[in-house]
Structure formats: structure tokens, C-alpha cells
Amino acid sequence: MNQAVKRSWWKEGIVYQIYPRSFQDSDGNGIGDIRGIINRLDYIKSLGVDIIWLNPVYESPNDDNGYDISDYRSIMSDLGTMEDFDELLEGMHRRGLKLVMDLVVNHSSDEHRWFQESKSSRDNPYRDHYHWWPAEKGTPPKRWSYFDVESNAWKYDATTDAYYLHYFSIKQPDLNWENPKLRQEVYDLMRFWFEKGVDGFRMDVISFISKDTSFPRLPDDAVPDDFISMYANGPNLHKYLNEMNREVLSNYDVMTVGEAPGVTLENALDLVSEDRGELNMFFHFDLMTLDRAPGEVFKMNPNGWSLKEFKRIFSEWDAVFARKGWGSVFLNNHDFPRTVSRWGNDSPEHWRNAATMLQTFLLTMRGTPYFYFGDEIGMTNIRFDRIEQYKDINTINMYKKIATEGGDLDEFLLDQKDAGRDNARTPMQWDETDNAGFTKGDPWIEVNSNYKKGVSVVAQENDPYSVLNYFRRVTAVRKAHVGLVYGSYELLNVNNENVYAFLRSHDKERYLVLLSFSTQNEALTIPGHLNYNRIEKLISNDLIKDDETYKEFLLRPYQAIVYKLS
Ligand code: NOJ
């Protein structure tokens, strides 16, 4: 192992992300809740994961499913009570699981007390908790908004004759980090949760918190994708994260992972290099935009994506963290379509191998692997047909915008079948009873009907060959081989368009990972410079010949094999 890399629990842990609204309802109101998660802790533990990242559970009017927080210190009533939360944390810790919460402090809800005060008068003490542009200065310089029906990030408010800034919906006003009082409020609320014993934070769009408050004019021809780099890495980002680390994070043994659109290979280490004292890890967006149309954030590229580019992205990012800092590896989350539908293949013929191959990939890469609930049973995109089926403010407001502008709504709906965030938000498929055992009431969003066709925990639990049981085996393989966590990474067969092959090396141990992204059988020759006498299979999702000495491989469609070389 690279001696410079210090071992730690958040490097060796496997993360399992839970979108609470969609995981398990316990009281029949159709919305997943904290007690539902408590009831499933033994299941979660059985997967071999270590860290749970919980999407926001704080009080919220739910304009954006909890990413619009109206009280950072209380639990959303739909999801339960603070007593439930305490019991969840205790139940997790008792099982050796860690809990990472979502910290959403680029913006709050407009129903937060701070904003209510802030908007009430220009001289209110909370005025500067947010960004205001007085109307007498004229129309504010254009800023693009993710969820606004007019894509306009400034909203006029007559009470004080001023515009407030909202990068996301009009109900998500951006907090003003340039104000030291606001920063102290944030540090206080972080301490509140750390004192309860939570083990870390995933930080929502943390790369956007610092703004140039002179709000310069941006190029008139900027497209949505351009705004990401214009919003990210503001002038005081590192100053604030460093301060946060000094004042709060450094006092606890906790993990931090920033959601960091706009952070690049070039400036990555500024955020996570140990000597900087900022964050532990972050999520970059290079993979998440690989299949998007040029200049767009939410629209699919009709030309698809190529495995060579996919490999390039993972290889370049691995190299950045080879000596300093630490990476996160992930294929989806609650903002993107389902893993197997997006990067694999969800046809009946290939679904099982594709889902397990992608699991194998994340668990054999360097960096902390993140899984999204349902990945372990191979949940797929629901592909809604009608706008009425969608619940996501992003899809709904884009639809309204296109309708107003007279655009092509059918084309939009077709695109959303692959791009829509709600694909990832349909309920967990537990069993084959009504609503997949998610709720006894009416689910807040439709359940994917394939819960009756093998995509459920119950259908897979006793099948040794299932996606679920493969997941348990492959998490165990990672746990048993620390070299898969810390070992160096070398990409092999760089130009192969259908197979991703790489080598992990750690002290004297070497692991060869072969992953087919193809619907055909693929023959592969491992480059000559790789010398080995013996090859031992650690795991595969399909049949292979065991224990031979060879360099020629024949992979079945979407086959994954991990060998130990000696
Ligand atoms: C990123 C979150 O992951 C997403 O779900 C949310 O809509 C935006 N940030 C705004 O908070």
C-alpha cells in the first residue's frame, strides 16, 4: 500500500444510500419513514454495507422532497419524530453501522424562519442571511436556475421591492455564506447533530456556497451546463470549508463527502487533500454528464455513451487521488436513473449479469463505493408515460416551461423516461404483496410493476444465484481483501470498446478485474507485461473454468470476474 495513505473507516466502508420517502412505510400513509428503516436494519446489515447515507429527514414543506429545509433541528413529521431518529441511530450503532446525514446549506426553504425574517424588511437582522438584489438597481444580471419554470434564479419579492437568489426552486433561497453570522448558524446546527452521535455529512452542492456578491454579468450565450462551472468554486469556498473543518469537523471522528458539481481533476485536491483541512471526499459530475446532450444537464445524448470514455473518467479520477486525498466511486443516486438501466442492461436476458457486473465494478475500485438502495436487487427505471405520474419538481417544472414556450412535450416525456430523477425514487421492492410491501396505503409515487417479476427481496432472498445474494458475496470479497480498497489501479486493454479490465496491486497481492459491458461473448487477451503463474478466481457472476494458468479469456455477456494473481 502507498505508505502515504492513512487507513480509516470511511475509506474501507461501503456506503448504502437511503431515500427515506421511498424505503419502507410503517404507518400506512404511503410515505417511507424512519420507523420503516428501523424495521429493516437487520436486512441492511445483512448486505455487508457499513455506512448509511440518509437523504434529508429534516422538517420541510417538500418542494424538493426535503432538500428545502424549514428547520434544521427537527424531523419531518411525514417521516417520524426525534425519538424515532434517536432509536434509528442507536439501532445502527448497535449493529456496527454508521449514519451519515445530508447537510443542505447552500439554500434553505423559503418557509425557514430565517427567510421569513429576511424578507420582512430590508433592515431585519436576518436580511443578510440570503442574497438580495434591490429593484432600484434594475433587473439583476442573468442567473440560471435548475428548477425554476422560467429558469430564472432571481425572484422578485414585493414586500421589500427586491429580488432574492435561488439556484434551485423559488422555494429554495440561497443562503449567504459571506455573512459570518450565517456560517456560525450552520456550524451550530452541525454540532447539534454530531453531539447526537451522527457519523458524518454528505454536503449538498457544497461547491456552490461561495458567491461573488457583486454578481457580475455572465456571458449572454451561456447554456445550462456552463452555469455549473460559473457557480462552483466561488472566491471563498476553501476559506469557508477550512473554517468549518477547524471549528467543527476536526473535533469529531466523522466522514464528509461533498456533492461537488464543477469541481475538476485540476482543482480536486484543493478540496480533499489531507493537508488542506477541508473535506474527506466528494462526488464529481464527470460520469453523471457522460450520457447527457452537449451543454445540457438533464437531457440525454441520443448518441449514448462509450465504454472507452467511461473508463477514461474512472481512470483519470483514480490517478488524482493516488497519493493524496481520497475518491468516491458511484454510478447513481436519487438524482439519476437506475444503475442497471443506465450503465448496464435491464432486458430480461441481461439484467442479472449487468446488475451484478456493475456491483462488482464499484467493489473492486479504489475509493469509497456508494450504492443506492435497490441496487442490491437490481431495481430498474420505471419509465413513466404521463406527466401526471411524475412527482419531481424538476420534471414537472421543465414540462411547464416547455409547454409555455410551445416546445415538443412528447419528445420531452420520451427523454424523461431515461433521464427523469423519479426513476430512482420509486419505492423499494420488498416482496410480492401489494405495492411491493412498501406500504399498506397509497404510495406517494408508483411502484415499479416488476416487483412481481423477480425484482424483490423476497424473490431473491433464497436464491443463491440472485442479484441480492451476489451482492452479499461481493461485499464480502471486498472486506476480505484490503488491497481492493487501497491497492493501486492500472487500466488494461485501454482501447477495448466492450470490456473494462484493470489490475489492482497492493504489496505483493494483485487482483485482475474483468468486466464485460457487452451483449455478446467477448474474447480478451491480457497484455504480456502482466506476469503470473497462478490465477485464482475470487468471484464471478457467471460460469468460468476454474484455477488455470492463462491469458486468454472468454467472457459471457456482462460477465464480471475477479482473479487473484500470484
Ligand atoms: C442536489 C440534490 O442531490 C438534489 O436532489 C437537490 O434537488 C438539489 N441538490 C438541490 O438541493
Specify the CATH number for the domain of residue 133: 3.90.400.10
- For ligand 1, say whether the CB of 67 is within 6 Å of any of its atoms: yes
- How far, in Å, CA of 74 to CA of 85, rounded? 10
CB 328 within 8 A of CB 280: no
Give φ, ψ of 514 to 5 degrees: -120, 125
Helices (H), 406-558: 409-419, 457-461, 467-480, 482-486
CA atoms within 13 A on the CB side of 322: 14
Q: Both 193 and 77 in a single domain?
A: yes
Q: Specify the number of domains making up the chain.
A: 3
Q: Both 150 and 270 in a single domain?
A: no
216 falls within a domain? yes
How many whole angstroms from 67 Cα to the centroid of ligand 1?
Answer: 6
- Going by the DSSP 8-state scheme, the letter that residue 109 receives in this structure is -
- Active-site choice (148, 174, 178, 259): 259
- For ligand 1, say whether the CB of 174 is within 6 Å of any of its atoms: no
How many whole angstroms from 105 Cα to the centroid of ligand 1?
Answer: 11
- Active-site choice (84, 204, 376, 392): 204
Q: Both 69 and 135 in a single domain?
A: no
447 falls within a domain? yes
How many whole angstroms from 401 Cα to the centroid of ligand 1?
Answer: 20
Q: Both 43 and 141 in a single domain?
A: no
509 catalytic residue (yes or no)? no
296 falls within a domain? yes
Q: Both 148 and 190 in a single domain?
A: no
Q: What is the 3-state secondary structure (H, E, C) of 368-435?
A: EEEEECCHHHCCCCCCCCCHHHCCCHHHHHHHHHHHHHCCCHHHHHHHHHHHCHHHHCCCCCCCCCHH
- Domain final position from 139, 165, 191: 165
480 falls within a domain? no
pLDDT of residue 69: 98
Question: Which atom, in ligand 1's list, is nearest to the CA of 147?
Answer: 7
How many whole angstroms from 204 Cα to the centroid of ligand 1?
Answer: 6
- Domain final position from 144, 165, 186: 165
2 falls within a domain? no
5 falls within a domain? no
The answer to whether the pTM exceeds 0.75 is yes
pLDDT of residue 332: 97
Question: Which atom, in ligand 1's list, is nearest to the CA of 107?
Answer: 11
481 falls within a domain? no
Q: Both 127 and 20 in a single domain?
A: no
Q: Both 87 and 217 in a single domain?
A: yes
CB 32 within 8 A of CB 88: no
Q: What are the grid coordinates assigned to 259, written together? A: 456533492
Q: Both 299 and 229 in a single domain?
A: yes
Q: What are the grid coordinates assigned to 296, written together? A: 445540457
- For ligand 1, say whether the CB of 343 is within 6 Å of any of its atoms: no
Q: Both 540 and 441 in a single domain?
A: no
411 catalytic residue (yes or no)? no
Q: Both 41 and 156 in a single domain?
A: no
- For ligand 1, say whether the CB of 204 is within 6 Å of any of its atoms: yes
- For ligand 1, say whether the CB of 146 is within 6 Å of any of its atoms: no
- Going by the DSSP 8-state scheme, the letter that residue 225 receives in this structure is H
pLDDT of residue 33: 98
- For ligand 1, say whether the CB of 231 is within 6 Å of any of its atoms: no
- Domain final position from 440, 472, 504: 472
- For ligand 1, say whether the CB of 104 is within 6 Å of any of its atoms: yes
Helix, strand, coil percentages, rounded to 5, for the chain: 35, 20, 45
Q: Both 459 and 499 in a single domain?
A: no
How many whole angstroms from 259 Cα to the centroid of ligand 1?
Answer: 9
Q: Which domain holds residue 148?
A: 113-165
4 falls within a domain? no
The CB-based long-range contact list for 177-185 (8 Å cut-off, 24+ gap) reads: 177/209, 177/210, 177/211, 177/236, 177/240, 178/210, 178/211, 178/213, 178/236, 179/128, 179/129, 181/128, 181/129, 182/128, 182/129, 183/240, 183/243, 183/244, 185/114, 185/129
CB 466 within 8 A of CB 481: no
Q: Both 69 and 131 in a single domain?
A: no
Write the residue with the smallest CA distance to atom 11 of ligand 1: 67
Q: What is the pLDDT along the chain (566 residues), one digit of tens a residue?
A: 555 689 999 999 999 999 999 999 999 999 999 999 999 999 999 999 999 999 999 999 999 999 999 999 999 999 999 999 999 999 999 999 999 999 999 999 999 999 999 999 999 999 999 999 999 999 999 999 999 999 999 999 999 999 999 999 999 999 999 999 999 999 999 999 999 999 999 999 999 999 999 999 999 899 888 999 999 999 999 999 999 999 999 999 999 999 999 999 999 999 999 999 999 999 999 999 999 999 888 899 999 999 999 999 999 999 999 999 999 999 999 999 999 999 999 999 999 999 999 999 999 999 999 999 999 999 999 999 999 999 999 999 999 999 999 999 999 999 999 999 999 999 999 999 999 999 999 999 999 999 999 999 999 999 999 999 999 999 999 999 999 999 999 999 999 999 999 999 999 999 999 999 999 999 999 887 888 888 899 999 998 865 455 788 999 999 999 999 99
* CATH number, domain with residue 522: 2.60.40.1180
* CATH number, domain with residue 227: 3.20.20.80
